[in-house]
Structure 1
Amino acid sequence: MAAQRDLWDAIVIGAGIQGCFTAYHLAKHRKQVLLLEQFFLPHSRGSSHGQSRIIRKAYAEDVYTQMMDECYQIWAQLEQEAGIQLHRQTELLLLGMKENPELKTIQATLSRQGIEHQCLSSEELKERFPNIQFTGGEVGLLDKTGGVLYADKALRVLQNAICQLGGTVRDGEKVVEIRPGLPVVVKTTSGSYQAKSLVITAGPWTNQLLHPLGIQLPLQTLLINVCYWREKVPGSYSASRAFPCFLGLDQAPHHIYGLPSGEYPGLVKVCYHHGNSVDPEKRDCPTAVSDIQVLCRFVRDHLPGLKPEPDIMERCMYTNTPDEHFVLDRHPKYDNIVIGAGFSGHGFKLSPVVGKILYELSMKLTPSYDLALFRISRFPGLGKAHL
């Protein structure tokens, strides 16, 4: 265990992907950083575990597409530093009806930002992706930058990098009290620490930590069923056979997405981008499986080369804001307490830049991006943050 410091430059609470990248940027800039995690690492209790995530530049909002440009650079830099592959380019296929407004908006954003993409007609889709069954005249939008991130590997690489850069990671330490001030005092089940600044990246546990600090964000914790479906012919939906990641935009009321087979031999990850509200302390209780029925119908109708019942079901949690945009801001009252929350099931790929922004906020630096979309003050009654 590293020696106790009298005063840290920053403490980061929560060693998911956002907290890890925040601590990484702090350590890279030679700040004395302490990363606290309530569970013993590695763990599968939050939102950052599992083998894979989709990476893409295809977004409706320009700011995310712009952020992703830098994210790809940081992911590549991290790969080079660690000598470990963390990403595989597979392309991302967005599917929707020609008149789908979201599809049109994303295509316009990609064009405006100069991102390589391709529009595919119904006929071109059928020719290029014969193992997808198109039933209603869907068209496609191919984000050439799309691919797969190796999530568990990324967490391990980051946690190792933080320590190599002089940071400290302490797991199995649950935060039991935060005393605001200068310095801010953080008490855990194992000790008490002081820091010039505090960054809270606690996922589903965010509001538990914020409640004693006089603020509650409109966050909803959802339990997500992560499903894997067996290929009838092994390898037929693999990246090596040019099968892309995909995102179905017309599967109302929520999207369905999938990744090529790879993490489990012969199994394809196909999931519903929504779940059931859950207390994070009770995430292992039985929940409704209506989303599984939606997925079974989707696989049966559109992916005929897969068996229409999932072989493996795992669990993950989303922490959603009402508008599904992140919270990246300082506490409205305590400007040395920074909050990163509400990543709404699409934050993993953006974590390199999210971590950079949270580092900048914690060090009172000018943020690299316009944070208007991410301010706490956009929620009624929560006051104006000091940015």
Structure 2
Amino acid sequence: MPPSRASTKVIVIGGGGTLGSSTALHLLRAGYTPSNITVLDTYPIPSAQSAGNDLNKIMGIRIRNPVDKQLSLEARDMWRNDEVFKPYFHNTGRLDCAHTPESIASLRKSYEAILKAGSGLEKTHHWLSTEDEILARAPLLDRKQIKGWKAIYSEDGGWLAAAKAINSIGQVLKEKGVTFGFGSAGSFKKPLFDEDGTKAIGIETVDGTQYFADKVVLAAGAWSPTLVDLEGQCCSKAWVYAHMQLTPEEAAEYKECPVVYNSELGFFFEPNEKGVIKVCDEFPGFTRFKQHQPYGASTTKHISFPRSHAKHPTDTIPDESDASIRRAISAFLPRFKEKELFNRALCWCTDTADANLLICEHPKWKNFILATGDSGHSFKILPNIGKHVVELIEGTLAEDLAESWRWRPGSGDPLISRRAAPARDLADLPGWNHDEPSDDDMDVKDVAVSLASVKIGENIGEKVVEDGARVGVKVLA
């Protein structure tokens, strides 16, 4: 092990989320001293405002470009074999469906790309051209609802128990003695620099705590563009989900059901162990634009600002989202179309124009690393993405990855991004009920006093950070 790893101090901002927790884990695995790794987040792991703190996420192989293919295959192998992640991969298969002429043509093009991709994918992906073939893979779909549908069935696909997987990382970090800071003591305010103002030497949090380190990693997900000026490279957007409770008898019927996705409708998952099904609709996303000045900007900017459901649990979803989720249920699960929906909420991600990650050193701030721009497809690479962030920290990141994830302002419009249509702003949508505060959502001082009420876990331990503030680690039951 190079001596520098043992002595190098690293701060991971947003360490309770997907990219941040993975980075912290791979710092440990690379041999960094646990007490020299500081994980900061507004909420304990798994962070309640992270998109990764979710019941489940889709697993599949993404072959849009060679980088995506590499990451997907790396991740697939780790979900299958790595003990930290293996329990949380439900390899039920994935059914990608289409029913309009345009979407069928696009799906067929995707299948032909899979056949050319190599790596054995042609053996694990199957084109389904009839209702009978689709029903053979997902027998509980309604034949009347899938008339004219085509599909790709992926044996590599399934779903990931998202919050539990991040929590598994959190347990490792705690057991190894990583330093934590949560609440206002874990919420980023600004970087700290050396005398000439060009090299980051740490950060200051909302409560005034200063943490010093050799490297700073900002992995704050949808909040990243609000914290530092990303010069328009990322736009944060929300998507909608809802849950249904099935009886034990109903849930048993859907055991081992593949994830069913239709780009015109949405998707649903196999029930979890408590009989809960998550359903999502599919659309270009919602924004929430405000005037705001992130650190490094010379003036205020028009920025899409996430609104944490963890902090605002009474917020509702737009009326049209409720209707479109019901429409998806009517197509996928018509027998449950009258079921009550609960835990309806917005899930915030941040898109880049080309849907590639933004993982690079800030061009003006040496030792300040950005790890963001998930573009809604990054949870599947939770097991391995942190390895590549560590490579960037150490200057060994492969050239093709560095090129794909480079700093690239002006390269396109992230508002449109991956769904080829602009997102719409929540302010324009009926039904989105919320208590818009007079102060800014960045004010997280009240979060610190409410950490004990986070519903997803129980406090299993404490650690004293250098400034004496006590923080807890939440671990799922």
Q: TM-score range by the shorter chain?
A: 0.7 to 0.9
Inter-partner Cα distance in structure 2 for 1:309 and 1:302:
13
Q: What does 1:190-201 correspond to in 2, within 5 Å?
A: 191-201=209-219
- Measure the CA separation in 2 of the matches of 1:142 and 1:24: 32
Q: Please give the secondary structure, in 2, of the residue aligned with 1:46.
A: coil
Q: Are residues 1:121 and 2:133 paired? A: no
1:158/1:47 CA distance change after superposition, 3 Å: same
Distance 1:126 1:153, change over 3 A: closer
Question: What is the aligned counterpart of 2:98 among 93, 96, 99?
Answer: 96
- CA distance in structure 2 between the partners assigned to 1:25 and 1:367 by the alignment: 17
Alignment pair present for 1:209 and 2:227: yes
Return the alpha-carbon distance in structure 2 between the equivalents of residues 20 and 47 of structure 1: 13
CA distance in 2, matches of 1:287, 1:145: 33
Confirm or deny: 8 A CA contact 1:230 1:306 kept in the other structure: no
Compute the displacement of 1:171 (Å). Answer: 1.9
Deviations 1:148-174 (A, max 9, x none): 211122112111212334532322221
**Match for residue 178 of structure 1?**
191
- In structure 1, C-alpha distance between the alignment counterparts of 2:381 and 2:48, rounded to whole Å: 20
Q: Deviations for 1:180-204, whole angstroms, at most 9, x for unmatched residues?
A: 4445221122621222211110112
Q: Which amino acid in 2 is paired with 1:57?
A: I
Secondary structure of 2:387's partner?
A: helix
Cα separation, 2, equivalents of 1:269 and 1:287: 15
Offset, 1:125:
1.5
- Whole-angstrom CA distance in 2 between matches of 1:75 and 1:135: 31
Partner of residue 299 from structure 1, selected from 329, 337, 353 = 329
Sequence identity (%): 22
Return the offset for 1:229.
Answer: 3.2
Give 1:376's aligned residue: 407
Deviations 1:177-228 (A, max 9, x none): 20244452211226212222111101122123213xxx43433323332212
Q: CA deviation at 1:141?
A: 0.5
Paired with 1:273 and 1:326, the residues of 2 have a C-alpha distance of 21
Instruction: Report the CA distance between 1:127 and its aligned residue.
Output: 4.4
Q: How does 1:223-372 map to 2 (within 5 A)?
A: 223-231=238-246, 234-235=250-251, 238-240=254-256, 243-251=257-265, 256-265=266-275, 267-274=276-283, 275-278=285-288, 279-281=305-307, 283=309, 284=312, 285-315=315-345, 316-367=347-398, 370-372=401-403
Letter of the structure 2 residue corresponding to residue 373 of structure 1: S
Q: Closer, same or farther in 2 for the Cα pair 1:368/1:264, shift >3 Å?
A: farther
Consecutive unaligned residues of structure 2, counting only runs of 5 or more, are 1-6, 289-304, 414-477
SS, match of residue 234 in structure 1: helix
- 1:27 aligned onto 2:28: yes
Task: Tell me, yes or no, if the aligned pair for 1:16 and 1:47 is still in contact at 8 Å.
Answer: yes
The alpha carbon displacement at 1:234 in A equals 0.7
Structure 2 distance, partners of 1:349, 1:159, is: 17
SS of alignment partner, residue 224 of structure 1: strand
Query: For the residues of structure 1 that align with 2:319 and 2:237, how far apart are their CA atoms?
Result: 13
Task: State the secondary structure of the residue aligned to 1:49.
Answer: coil
* Alignment match, 2:434: none
- The 1-side partners of 2:238 and 2:348 are apart by 5
Change (3 A) 1:366 1:190: same
Whole-Å Cα distance in 2 between the matches of residues 238 and 182 of structure 1? Answer: 54
Count of residues paired in the alignment: 364
Query: 1:16, CA displacement in angstroms?
Result: 0.3
State the distance in 1 between where 2:407 and 2:222 align.
Answer: 17
Preserved CA contact (<8 Å) 1:40 1:171: yes
The letter of the residue matching 1:120 is L
Alignment equivalent of 2:77, drawn from 66, 73, 84: 73
**Kept after mapping to 2: 8 A contact 1:58/1:143:** no
Partner secondary structure for residue 126 of structure 2: strand
Matches within 5 A, 1:136-151: 136-151=147-162
Q: Residues 301 and 246 (structure 1 numbering): CA distance in 2 closer, same or farther, change over 3 Å?
A: closer
| RMSD of aligned Cα (Å) | 2.8
The answer (yes or no) to whether the contact 2:251–2:271 under 8 Å persists in 1 is yes
Q: Is the 8 A contact 1:245 1:257 kept in 2?
A: yes
After TM superposition, the structure 1 stretch with the greater mean CA deviation from structure 2, 22-31 or 269-278, is 269-278
